[in-house]
A and B are shown apart, each in its own frame.
Chain A
Amino acid sequence: MKRLLQNLKLSPLLYVALICITTVFALPTAAQEPSSLRDRHFRDSGLHPPGQVGQGLLSRGGPIPGYFQPIEVRAPQGTQLAFVANGQFGPSLLAPTKAGMLIGAVYRMKITNIPGLEGVEVFPSIEVINRIYPPRGLEAKFAIPIQLSLREIKMAVQGFYVTRVIYLEDPTNPIPVDEPIGRQRTLDISYTEDPLHVADKLGRPVAILRIGSRYPQLNAETGRFMFSSPPIQIIATPLLPAANTSASTTPAGFTTSASTNVAPITRAAARPVSFPIPR
C-alpha cells in the first residue's frame, strides 16, 4: 500500500485520468436522475424573456434535447393559425392544430380570422419548457393542450401582455372539478406574483404562452421576432369528410372527441408546411 501511494504520487496523470473517468460516468447519471427539484424553477421567472426558462432547464439536465413534444393549440372555432418556417409564416391552419415543438425553443405563431375580430392579427409565442412521457404511440393523443381564449386575444389587442404558464397538475392533490369544455382552467394571479413560481407549487410547468405582440417586427438579420425559426413538426390532422365520419378514417393516436369540434378541413387548408432543416 505504501508503495502504491508512492507510485501514485509519481504519476499525476493518473489523478487527471481518474477525475475524467469519474466525470464521464457521473454526468450521464446526473442527467438521467429524476428529481422534482430539478424541474423546479428557483432562479427563473415566468416573466423572463422567451427561451430563457426552457434553456435553463436543459442546462440543468432536464428533458433530453431534441425531443419534439406534441402541443395542441386550441382556439375559438374558425380561428386560423400559422407557424414560422424558414423565417416566414407558413400557410394558415385551422385550429385546433397539433405540432411537435422542441423543448427550450420558442415558436412564434400568427393568429388570424378571429371570430369577432376579423382583420386583426395577433402573434403569440409558445415556449415548451418540459416534456411528458405518454405511453408509446400515444404521444399525439396526449399532446399538451394550449387554449387560446377569445378573452386573452381581446386583451392582447387592447394592449395587454398575457403570460400563461401551463402546468401538469399534481395528481395527488387535484382540484375536484370537471374539465371545462372549450377553455382551459386558469388561475389568475396578481401583478406582483410570478406565474412560474405559482405553477411550480401547483404542479410541473410544461409550457409558457405569451400573447401581446400585434405588429410583426420582421428582421431577417437577427431573426429575433421569429426566434430563429426553430424546427417544428406539424402532426397530421385527420381529414374530416363532410358527413358520415367513420372511425376508420381517424388514424391511431388521435382522439375522435378532439376532432368533433373541428370544421372540415379542405384539401387546400391541409397543404403541407415547409420544414426548415437546421444547419
Chain B
Amino acid sequence: MRSKHHRLHLRFASLAALVLSLTACNLPQQQMRPLATVQISDTSPAAPQSTVTPAAPTNGPIQQISYQQPPATTNAAPAVKTGPIARIPLSAETGGPTSIVHPGAPYPANWSPPQISQPWPEDEYVYQGGDSRQQVNVAPDHSIHNLDEEDTIVHYTTRDGKIAIQPTNQIPIYAPRFSSVRHIGGASQYLHRDHASGVDNPLKIAASQENLGSEQVLQRLQAGRNISNRRTGLYRDESKARDVEYRIASLEGSQRQKPENGLLINTRVRIQNSQEARLSIQNTTAITATDEETVKIYVKDFMPYKVTGHNQMRSTYHYELAEGKSRLEIIKTSSNLTALPGDELEFMIAFKNVGDQPVSNVTIVDHLSRRLVYIEDTQSCDVAGKFFANDTVQESLILRWEITEPLAVGESGSITFRCRVR
C-alpha cells in the first residue's frame, strides 16, 4: 500500500516536472520573438525622449536614432511608444540592476557572462599597469627580468638591503581596433557559388545509402556458438593458484634482487634472510657519509647555489637592524578609459612611502603596450630623478624613472606622461 502511494507520488511529481519543463522551454522562444524598430514621430503626444534623441529638433518627423544616454530624471514620464511593437525588452530579460531601457543595448551596464570577471571581452581592451603574466624579478645589480608588455612596477631598496617590487594597479582601456582581410575574385565566381549552394539540399538523399549497413545484424547469429563455451570445467585447474607454497617461493625470489643496493651486484649469491641485516647496516653508513657534504648553515634568505668545497663556518656575525617595514604604494591612473585610434591619453603614476622606514633607489618602470606610443617630451616628474626611454624588440617602449634621492617616510611623488593610441 505504501509503495503504491510512493508510485503515485512519483508519477504525479514527474508529470508536474514535465509540464514545468515544457513551459520553461517556451521561454527562449518568447525572447526571440520578431523584433521591430520604434516608429518615432514628433507629432506623437509623448515621444520617448528618454531613449531616443532626434537629430533635428524642428524638421518634421525624424526617425534617426542615436545611442545618446539620456540624463537620469526621477520624475520622467513613462514613454509612450507609437509603434505597434516595442523594442527589445532589455533589463527584463537580463535581470540587470537597472530598469532604464536603452536602445540597442540588450545588456545592462557592465554586463559580463556569469562567472566571468570584468572587463569583458578581453580582446576589446588594452591593459596598462600591474604585473601580469610572468612575475617581475629584480636582480641585485638592479637588472629587471620578466618585465612583460603592459607591466608597470616600482622597485626600491629597503634599509636592510633588500630589493622590493611593487606593481601598480591594472587599467583596462576600451580601445578596440579593427583591420581587414581582402580577397579579390571575379564576379562570375559569385554567381557560380550562389547556384552551388542550392544544390546541396538534394545531395542529402545520398545519406540513405548509409542504412545498408544493417546487414550486419546477421552477426548476431554467432551467439549460437556459446554452446561450445564449456570453460566452466576449467575452474578445477584454477584452484591450483590457491596453493600457498608457490607464493612463498615467489617471496624468496624477490629477495634475490636486494643485492643491487650493495656491493654484491655482480655476485650472484643467494641471500638468506639472516644476511639482510648486514646489508641494511652498510646502506645506513653510506647515507651518513653523503650527508656531511651538504651545507648545513646559511645566512638569512641567501641560499647557496653552488658548493665548491667543504669549508665550514667558523665565525658568526650578528646584525641588529631597526624594526619596521618598508612599503611603497603606487597607483597608476589614466585620463580616459575609452579611446579610439589616434586619441591621446595622459597617464599619471603616483607613489608614496607609506612604510615606517625610508627607501632608496626608487625606480619606476613602465612597459607600454604596442598600441600606445609615447609622445616625446611629455613626461614630468615632481621629484628629482632621471628618465630613460628604451625601445624593445617588439617595437614597444619601456619608460624608466630613477628617483635619485631616498624617499622619506610619508614622502610622495607623481609622474605624468602622454601617449597616443595606435
Contact = CB atoms under 8 A, between A and B. Distances in A.
B374 interface: no
Contacts, number: 316
Interface residues of A, number: 114
Interface in A194-208: 194-196, 198-199, 202-204, 206
Contact of B181 (A52, A202, A213, A237): A202
A118 interface: no
B340 A142 contact: yes
Given A169-B178, A179-B422, A161 B185 contact: yes
Nearest to A10: B7
Given A171-B369, A189-B182, A277-B37, 17 more contacts: A7-B10, A21-B21, A24-B25, A27-B28, A132-B176, A136-B102, A161-B185, A165-B183, A171-B127, A172-B123, A175-B370, A178-B373, A179-B342, A185-B179, A195-B183, A234-B64, A278-B35
A45 B394 CA distance: 32
Contact of B56 (A141, A212, A267): A267
Contact of B182 (A27, A188, A231, A252): A188
Interface of A: 3, 7-8, 10-11, 13-14, 16-18, 20-21, 23-24, 27-29, 32-34, 46-49, 52, 64-68, 70, 100, 102, 132-142, 144-145, 147, 152, 155, 159-172, 174-179, 184-189, 191, 193-196, 198-199, 202-204, 206, 209-210, 212-213, 231-239, 251-255, 257, 267, 270, 272-275, 277-279
Nearest to B395: A176
A210 B256 CA distance: 80
B69 A253 contact: yes
Interface of B: 3, 6-7, 10-11, 13-15, 17-18, 20-22, 24-25, 28, 32, 34-37, 39, 53-56, 59-69, 83-85, 88, 102-111, 113-114, 116, 120-127, 174-187, 189-190, 193-194, 197, 337-338, 340-343, 369-371, 373, 394-396, 422
A171 B103 CA distance: 28
A141 B103 CA distance: 14
Contacts of A161: 184-187, 189-190
B69 A252 contact: yes
A181 to B, nearest CB: 8
Nearest to B57: A239
Nearest to A210: B190
A268 to B, nearest CB: 10
Nearest to B36: A277
Given A168-B123, A168-B177, A179-B341, A187 B373 contact: no
Nearest to A204: B123
B56 A189 contact: no
A85 B336 CA distance: 38
Contacts of A277: 36-37, 39, 83-85
Contacts of A236: 53-55, 62, 64-66, 68
